[in-house]
Structure 1
C-alpha cells in the first residue's frame, strides 16, 4: 500500500510539473467559405490556448482584413444555445468582449443587440470551423443572428499585426 501511495504521489508531482510546459498558445487561421461570412469577416485568426490534455480555449479573434481584434470570455447563458437554428451542432460558447474592436464585431454580427455570443464548433487544425452568432436584445430575447463558416487556412507561430485603436 505504501508503494502505491508513493507511486501515485510521484506521478502527481510529475504531471503537475509538466502541466505548464504542455499548455501552449497557437494561432489558427481560417478563410471565409461563403458569401455571408466573406461579407462580415473575410477571414479570421483565432488565438487559442491548448491545455494539458488537448482542450482548446479561444482567447482572441484577429480579423484578416480590418486588422482588428476582439477578446472572448468563455461561457455564456444556456438561452443563447437554445436560440440556435434547428440542426446546429455547435456547443462551445464565448461572449464577445465589448472593449476595443469587440464592440464593432458584436455590432456587425448582431446589429441592435445588447450582448453577443459566438457558439463555435470544436476548434481543431486542420478542420473547418462554424460559428453561430447569438444576441440578446433589450427586451431580454435571445435571437440567432448569423452563421459564419470557415475553411482551414493554416497555423501561425505568432499573432498577426494589429492596428492600434483607442478604447
Structure 2
C-alpha cells in the first residue's frame, strides 16, 4: 500500500517535469508539398511516457500558425490512400490562420482534418488532409511529405523576479 501511495505521489509531482514542449522544423520533400507549404514547424508536446502530440503548425517561411487538437472522426482515416500508415487524426481550429490552412488543404470542405504519422525528431513525416463536405461525405484531399530539418529551441525562462 505504501508503495502505491509513493507511486501516485511520484506520478503527480513528476509528470509536469517530464512533459516538455518542442519545436520541430520540416522542409517539403516533393513538388505538391512545396506548392502548398514552403516548410512547417510543429509545436509538439512530449508526454510522460514519450508520446508526442502536435499542438500547433507554424509556417516556417511566412507568418502564420494554426492550432490543431488531437481527435476527429474515424472517417478521416478511412479515406486515406491504400497503404497509408498514418493514424493520428487532428482537427484544425477554424479561427485565425486555421481557416486559411483548412481551405488550402481541402478547398470546399466544411471541415478539414489532418491525419499525421508518428512525429519524431530526425525522421521524415507524412500528413494527409482529409475533408468533410456538406453532404457528409469524407474525401482525401492531399498528401504532404516533409523531411526533418531540425529542432528550434527557446531561450530559458527567467524567474518572476527577473533574476536567473
Task: Name the TM-score, length of structure 1 as normaliser.
Answer: 0.90
Aligned to 2:138: 142
C-alpha distance in structure 1 between counterparts of 2:140 and 2:74, whole Å = 13
Which of 73, 92, 106 is equivalent to 1:110? 106
Q: How does 1:92-131 map to 2 (within 5 A)?
A: 92-131=88-127
- What is the count of residue pairs matched by the alignment? 155
C-alpha distance in structure 1 between counterparts of 2:151 and 2:29, whole Å = 17
Aligned-pair CA distance for 1:15: 2.3
Q: Equivalent residue of 1:21, what SS?
A: helix
Aligned-pair CA distance for 1:27: 0.4
> Is residue 84 of structure 2 the alignment partner of residue 73 of structure 1?
no
Q: Equivalent residue of 2:2, what SS?
A: helix
Aligned-pair CA distance for 1:11: 2.4
C-alpha distance in structure 1 between counterparts of 2:4 and 2:93, whole Å = 41
C-alpha distance in structure 2 between counterparts of 1:14 and 1:95, whole Å = 33
Gaps of 5+ in 2: 156-164
> Is residue 46 of structure 2 the alignment partner of residue 50 of structure 1?
yes
Which of 105, 129, 151 is equivalent to 1:155? 151
Q: Equivalent residue of 1:15, what SS?
A: helix
C-alpha distance in structure 1 between counterparts of 2:3 and 2:44, whole Å = 34
User: Per-residue displacement from partner, 1:44-96 (whole Å, max 9, x unpaired)?
Assistant: 00000111111111000001122110000210001111111111110011011
Task: Name the TM-score, length of structure 2 as normaliser.
Answer: 0.92
Aligned-pair CA distance for 1:7: 1.9
C-alpha distance in structure 2 between counterparts of 1:158 and 1:131, whole Å = 25
Which of 21, 29, 34 is equivalent to 1:25? 21
Q: Quote the RMSD (CA, aligned, Å).
A: 1.1
Aligned to 2:56: 60
